[in-house]
Amino acid sequence: MIDTTVNVINKLGLHARASGKLIEVTSRYRSSIQLGKGKELIDAKNIMSLLMLGAGKGTQLRLVIEGSDEEKACEAIQALFNAKFYEAE
């Protein structure tokens, strides 16, 4: 199990377009992937749950991944966050 954090650093936060890109990444993996603030975690493969997080720029999110491909999933998710969801600034 991986239990780490990711920081929302893109200008608009985890809005609809960014959430859609995150879903594209998380849905590629079999592992259970959860995101949240503190102990409140949501399914990172569910777009409505992601949008309800209300994670704006500067938010630190907890990322919990468990499964056979957890390391690859973690790397891909962290890369997406670090690339600011490939949005123009």
Q: Which residues are catalytic?
A: 15
Distance CA 36, CA 26 (A): 15
**Type of residue numbered 26:** T
Please give the sequence-ordered ranges of beta strands (E in DSSP) within the chain, or none if there are none.
Answer: 2-7, 32-37, 40-43, 60-66
Identify the residue whose tokens are 């569910």. Answer: 46
Identify the residue whose tokens are 């959860």. Answer: 34
